[in-house]
Structure 1
Amino acid sequence: MVVTLDDTKRSAIATELADLKALQELLIATEQKLLPAVSSDSEISNRLNDFIKDDQQDLAVIQGVIDKFSGSVQPRDSIRQYVDQVHRLMDGTELTLYQKVSAHERIKHQAVMTGLIVHKAAQVVGEDVKEAIGPLNQVNFKNRAHQEQLKAVLEVLGTRELTGKDPDQSVWARAQDAVAALRGVFDGLTN
């Protein structure tokens, strides 16, 4: 039996989708703004170019979901204000490159969570909504993968910012990182 939503619930999910679209547009804009700042590092630059390509494709998917699900809907005012604030910070000089990429990673996290919440809502409301938002799953997957890649970029940029040197990426350094993480877990258990 297909369950249909009342207009209020459908509108709430549609607004969440509009918020996701605004966040996805923001991701593309911030990636484009960050690209010139990392142009001397081909690995990070290539990664950002890949993100831009994926995010543009994902924006089209999100728009397709919105079109199938609800048609025209606007993001919340708070999201619009947030987008304006991020643009101001990304265009300004008050944040370092590391801080800008860190802010970008948080936007990516917000997009992931927004997409997942829409997915979870669709699971409990009915087949018609699940079907409409189905393509959103690939967007959630790619955004989550980007988020993990951004953590590696942050590690490099943060270490460079603090020391002027690249982080040690050797196998031994990674083993030391793992030991430190485990030590933190065990210390937490004993305290």
Structure 2
Amino acid sequence: MTDTTNIATKLADLQLFQNVLIESEQTLIKETSDDTIRERLEKILNQDRENLSDIQKAVAKLGTNADARSVSQAHAEKVKEMMSGSELTLFDKFFEFELLKHQQTMSGLVLHKAAQSLDDDLQDAMEPLNKVNFENRAHQEILKGVLYFAGTRELAGVEPDMGLWASVEQGIAALKGAVGSATSSS
């Protein structure tokens, strides 16, 4: 396979899992009764819909279409099945969702770095992924808080300390500051 074909295939995987994230968010929004968590998930959902558009821009700029790998398609189906089924608790579903978000973040970062190391045209094609990658990283911070809340409720049967959301927000602000510094100095 050529470099462009490899990148196109991984980009197809990224697009596939972006759709799975969106479907998972819609499921989780319906299943949670916590207004704060639902509000945060709705914000993530809106950003992920925009991020799907950015991924599609990268596909178009690359100019080489590929299909997601069969192993990725099977994994996506398994995740959809778990998220829509009743075997997992809500905490388990949030945990699976966070793992998928982490996978998406790392895949996007590696794709961007690989393209950057190959040539200027590939780097330019992957540029829309920058925003996607940074937002996915911020989503991971939010999901950490969601996991703490859902996990404490499920495992201990008590409400977690509300100060946790403040520390999550501080983590996101620090991440955005670092991103702003990195992009303004390049």
> Does the alignment pair 1:143 with 2:133?
no
Pairing partner for 2:45 from 41, 52, 59: 52
Q: 1:80 Cα deviation (Å)?
A: 0.3
Alignment of structure 1 residues 13-32 onto 2, 5 Å: 13-32=7-26
Residue 124 (str. 1) matches residue 81 (str. 2): no
Q: Which residue of 2 aligns with 1:153?
A: 146
Size of the aligned set, in residue pairs, is 165
Q: TM-score, normalised by structure 2?
A: 0.85
**1:168 aligned to 2:161?**
yes
The alpha-carbon deviation at position 91 of structure 1 amounts to: 1.3
Residues 1:95 and 2:77 are matched in the alignment? no
Q: Of residues 41, 57, 63 in structure 1, which corresponds to 2:56?
A: 63
Question: Over residues 57-96 of structure 1, what are the superposed CA-to-partner deviations in whole Å (9 max), with x where a residue is unaligned?
Answer: 0001101110110343211101100011011111111110
Report the counterpart of residue 102 of structure 2 in structure 1: 109
Tell me which amino acid in the other structure corresponds to 1:20. L
Identify which of 13, 17, 37 aligns with 2:31.
37
What amino acid is the match of 2:24?
T
Which residue is equivalent to 1:4?
none
Hey, which bits of structure 1, 4+ residues long, moved more than 6 A?
none
**1:11 aligned residue:** 5
Q: CA deviation at 1:170?
A: 4.3
Letter in 2 for 1:51: I
In terms of Rg, which structure is larger? 1
Which is bigger in relative contact order (C-alpha 8 A, separation at least 6)? 1
CA distance in 2, matches of 1:63, 1:73: 12
Once residues 75 and 133 of structure 1 are traced to their aligned partners in structure 2, the CA distance between those partners, rounded to angstroms, is 17
Q: Confirm or deny: 8 A CA contact 2:15 2:52 kept in the other structure.
A: yes
Q: For residues 119-160 of structure 1, give each alpha carbon's deviation from its aligned partner in whole angstroms, at most 9, with x where no partner exists.
A: 110121011111111111000000010011101000000000
Q: 1:46 and 1:168 mapped to 2: Cα distance?
A: 18
| Structure 1 counterpart of 2:78, from 85, 94, 99 | 85
SS in 1 for 2:2: helix
Tell me the secondary structure at the aligned position of residue 167 of structure 1: coil
TM-score, length-normalised on structure 1? 0.83
Identity of aligned residues (%): 43
Tell me if structure 1 keeps the 8 A contact 2:5–2:64.
no
Amino acid corresponding to residue 37 of structure 1 in structure 2: E
